[in-house]
Structure 1
């Protein structure tokens, strides 16, 4: 199991650009992109990890897949109210793909874990993108035994590894359109 380290993820932050942008400007520009001819993708992430979020968007774009997300800077109440549940239902049902950015902070977050369980109740598949802290072991091994996850198999080559040990190239998974419930 080869889990992408945080420094490896952060290298993607400006890798697909000719020039650098600050995080908020980058996420704002990404949000304004049209969803025409793009895979819609929901990324579940720890609220304060914008640099990691920007990096993962650019990581996914490096596969040549056009990704659209309309949720980047929307504020969502971090509670389990009817409004929040309806918001999540709408986001889960309107996106073709769902990725959980499983940093150490996210896997410790009660909120992120609640959202992950909620998505499972909606009968939608979610893929884990595990990110370990630099020079340390990954604390979310139990997630990787339960959900499919993105695994680095060699430099710049990634696959989805499913709990039953079958695999799929990440690029193929990103390009395939999932039927939206």
Structure 2
């Protein structure tokens, strides 16, 4: 099922940190790393998703936390994003109305699709109770959901929830 936006928003307000603090530390520890594609308008939701993934030991890259990024998007921005997408284990697409309408997010998922094995692209479908986002991709890529106790689960495209996820974190 899609992750509720209020769940992500609440998790984003938590300050407790988990897992590796940097991507370098994550690599040294053998932790999973991921590029998080999302709209900057949904920063609070992105922080919530990062909270759940960090609890599972993941280290997640968010471009607006990168001090080396240019202030205004340009060719250097695109090059740095491409590098991070290739460098990190997984590509996560936080599906929200804002990311679906973004000019950058569709470009990023298209780039990732051409660079990574399909199993390393993960869609995070969301719902605000009245709308669900991410359905467009659910037959193409694996999806991320929250299980009991806030655990992170990954499901195959088209896999129904009555079965067992392909992995849980």
Q: What secondary structure sits across from 1:49 in the alignment? A: helix
Q: Which position in structure 1 is the counterpart of 2:116? A: 123
Distance in 2 separating the partners of 1:96 and 1:69: 11
**Conserved in 2, the CA contact under 8 Å of 1:104 and 1:131?**
no
Unpaired runs of 5+ in structure 2? none
Task: Kindly indicate whether residue 139 of structure 2 is the aligned counterpart of residue 145 of structure 1.
Answer: yes
Q: Structure 2 length normalisation: TM-score?
A: 0.74
Q: Look up the SS of the partner of 2:125 in the other structure.
A: strand
User: Is 1:67 equivalent to 2:59 in the alignment?
Assistant: yes
Instruction: Return the offset for 1:169.
Output: 2.2
Give 1 or 2: higher helix fraction. 2
Going from structure 1 to structure 2, the CA distance change for 1:158 and 1:90 (only over 3 Å counts) comes to: closer
Equivalent-residue separation in structure 1 for 2:84 and 2:23 (angstroms): 17
* 2:95–2:133 CA contact under 8 A, matched in 1: no
Residue 87 (structure 1) shift: 2.1
Tell which deviates more after alignment, 40-49 or 161-170: 161-170
TM-score by length of 1: 0.70
CA-atom RMSD in angstroms = 2.9
